[in-house]
Chain A
């Protein structure tokens, strides 16, 4: 999933303060799963904003809505009526969702209510970890299914740096050394030979270094 976390409330207030009618638009898939922008978060944020505006005696109206996915036109359509009757939409979707809304409603102002963080998983309840950088050229096959491009702080492809101590990365005592995990896993799988494989410089052309990417499926173009 794509993870996100809600922006600090003061930043959100500053963003929407200039408007009279605000629609908070949640997204029911990824950001709901990571507790940043689903129905529940929309409701809590709406109450917080209403209270805050009331305290400041600012006549700002807040409306709520959550659609299944802000990144798909099929669902976006549902929001058109409410967007039309508000001055601004505060989207709690990821950056892709915000921009999909902007493309669909070129005349509407859509503001981000969350900071999009990474492609990750929920490791345990409430704990999310980054697992994939979307580099466009997956090498998980030789690394025992653990991605050093994403999970090694130095993107090392040929083994751990000298800063790995007792399975922990040098940059943070909370961070596992990806290479330690790779070595443990390859050892347990009996694939130690992979550890001696020389990995050449990565072709970053398929990643963001090649400029904004586009995926074209000719067989699905109508």
Chain B
């Protein structure tokens, strides 16, 4: 497998990699993206650019990814199967590669019911496993889904998501194995707050030999306040924040809660660094990109 991704290069050297996240604006303002680029550049190896996350209409992930490319920051373009059929998917992947995008994260996507336009029709022509396979087949066979030989095949470094905190737990490693078989090169996990459960998941993945076949990046999100912790626990799909974390956030003064959130985040990263089968960390500082540089420096990752 040959790619032109710096993230791939770093992971393949066995170095602990760091990715960040950039949510495009709800509008056509490039300056919002530029501001986030300034906060992240130099501190992370690549930045995920979300694709209409939580089904709220935003600047496209391809366009925002190109702004990153132009600024010298490597994007991981997220792509969901909610809004595109297989024709649009393949077309967008080719277009994205031609624009300099070298990493893709393949996702199902949040259901539009959560979003700003719940009346929309969804697509789900293919699922996320088949999206992974499509990108892999384009890269490794040089052909599109119809078997047509492409003149230049997109050489993407392919990512997928895993949620060790969703149910049924016993199935989560089987699902991971399916994504690896389909062609996932790296995995970014859902935010880790329940370290015991994450350790059990990674142990199962190690036992199945999966962590030798894929780079796993543990997901972390610093909590800004106890309100955010409660909101994420109750309202965000697939998110599970243990009671003890919420209590810990509650136990400090409101003005110190953001610092406490960063402290929790740093402790999680420290544990992840010591775990067999974990190859990096994915920091999702949601609308709090200012925190990333601080976390990366304090965690000794730069």
Is B truly associated with A? yes
Interface residues of A (CB under 8 A from B): 153-167, 170-172, 177, 179-180, 183-184, 195-196, 198-202, 204
Known: A162-B161, A171-B113, A198-B181. A157 touches B127 (CB 8 A): yes
In the complex, A165 Cα to B175 Cα: how many Å?
Answer: 15
CA distance A200 to B130 in the complex (A): 7
Given A162-B161, A170-B237: 10 more A-B contacts, CB < 8 Å: A156-B124, A157-B127, A158-B129, A159-B178, A160-B166, A170-B114, A179-B171, A184-B168, A195-B174, A198-B181
**Interface size in chain B (residues, C-beta < 8 A):** 37
Nearest B-chain residue to A170, judged by Cβ: B237
Q: Which residue of B lies closest to A159 (CB)?
A: B175
Q: Mark B145-162, 1 if CB is under 8 A from A, else 0.
A: 100000000000000011
Contact: B178 with A198, CB < 8 Å? yes
B221 is an interface residue with CB less than 8 A from chain A: no
What 0/1 pattern do residues 113 to 151 of B give for CB contact below 8 A with A?
A: 110000000101111111000100000000001000000
B167 proximity list for chain A (CB < 8 A): 160, 164-167, 177, 180
- From A159, A166, A172, A202, B171 is in contact (CB under 8 Å) with A159
CB distance from B110 to the nearest CB of A (A): 8
- B30 interface residue per 8 A CB criterion: no
In the complex, how many angstroms separate the beta carbon of B148 from the nearest chain A beta carbon?
16
Name the B residues within 8 Å of A165 (CB-CB): 166-167, 237-238, 240
How far is A172 from B111 in the complex, measured between Cα atoms in Å?
A: 11
Q: In the bound complex, do residue B182 and residue A198 qualify as a contact, i.e. CB atoms below 8 Å apart?
A: yes
Q: Give the residues in chain A near B224, CB-CB below 8 Å.
A: none
A201 to B89, CA, bound (A): 13
Whether B178 and A153, one on each chain, are in contact in the complex, defined by CB atoms closer than 8 angstroms, is no
Q: Residue B82 at the A interface, CB < 8 A?
A: yes
- Also in contact, A158 and B130, with CB within 8 A (given A170-B111, A195-B171): yes
Contact present for B237 and A162 (CB under 8 Å): yes
Please name all residues of chain B whose beta carbon is closer than 8 Å to the beta carbon of A200 when the two chains form the complex. Answer: 130
Given the complex, which residues of A lie within 8 Å of B111, measured CB to CB? 153-154, 163, 170-171
A179 to B190 CA separation, bound complex (whole angstroms):
19
Select one of A154, A170, A179 contacting B238, CB under 8 A. A170
Residue of A with least CB distance to B176: A159
Residues in B with CB closer than 8 Å to A166 are 167
Instruction: Report chain A residues within 8 Å CB of B82.
Output: 154
Q: Is B163 an interface position by the 8 A CB rule?
A: yes
The smallest beta-carbon distance between B193 and chain A, in angstroms, is: 15
A75 CA to B88 CA, complexed, in Å:
46
Q: Nearest residue in A to B123 (C-beta to C-beta)?
A: A155
Which residues of A sit under 8 angstroms from B182, Cβ to Cβ? 198
A44 to B65, CA, bound (A): 60
How far, in Å, is B221 (CB) from chain A's closest CB?
Answer: 14
Bound: A172/B130 CA distance, A? 25
Q: Of A156, A183, A198, A199, which is within 8 A of B108 by CB?
A: A156
CA–CA, A155 and B162, complex, Å? 18
| A161 / chain B contacts, CB cutoff of 8 Å | 108, 128, 166, 238
Contact A196–B127 (Cβ < 8 Å): no
A180–B127 CB distance below 8 A: no
Tell me, rounded to whole Å, the shortest Cβ–Cβ distance linking A171 to chain B. Answer: 5
Is B18 interfacial (CB 8 A cutoff)?
Answer: no
**What is the CA–CA distance of A167 and B78 in the complex, to the nearest angstrom?**
27
**Is B127 in contact with A154, judged by CB distance below 8 angstroms?**
yes
Determine if B177 is an interface residue (Cβ-Cβ < 8 Å): yes
Top 3 nearest A-B pairs (CB, nearest first) are A162-B163, A170-B237, A163-B237
Within the complex, the shortest CB–CB distance from A123 to chain B, in Å, comes to 22
CA of A179 to CA of B127, assembled, Å: 13
Given contacts A156-B127, A162-B238, A195-B174, contact A201 B166 (CB under 8 A): no
- On whether the beta carbons of B108 and A154 are closer than 8 Å, the reply is yes
Q: Which of A157, A158, A166 has the most CB of B within 10 A?
A: A158
- CB-CB < 8 A to B273: which residues of A? none
Does B166 lie within 8 Å of A158, measured CB to CB? no
Query: Which residues of chain A are within 8 angstroms of B199 by Cβ–Cβ distance?
Result: none
**In B164-213, which residues have CB < 8 Å from any A CB?**
166-168, 170-171, 174-175, 177-178, 181-182, 190
- Contact between B190 and A162 (Cβ–Cβ < 8 Å)? yes
B130 with A163: CB separation less than 8 A: no
Question: Do residues A196 and B166 form an inter-chain contact, with CB atoms below 8 A?
Answer: no
**Bound Cα distance from A160 to B128, whole angstroms:** 10
Q: Is the CB of B125 within 8 A of A159?
A: no
- Chain B residue with Cβ nearest A172: B113
- With contacts A162-B238, A167-B167, A201-B145 taken as known, whether A154 is within 8 angstroms of B86 at the C-beta atoms is no
Contact A155 B238 (CB under 8 A): no
Which residues of B have CB within 8 Å of A170?
110-111, 114, 237-238
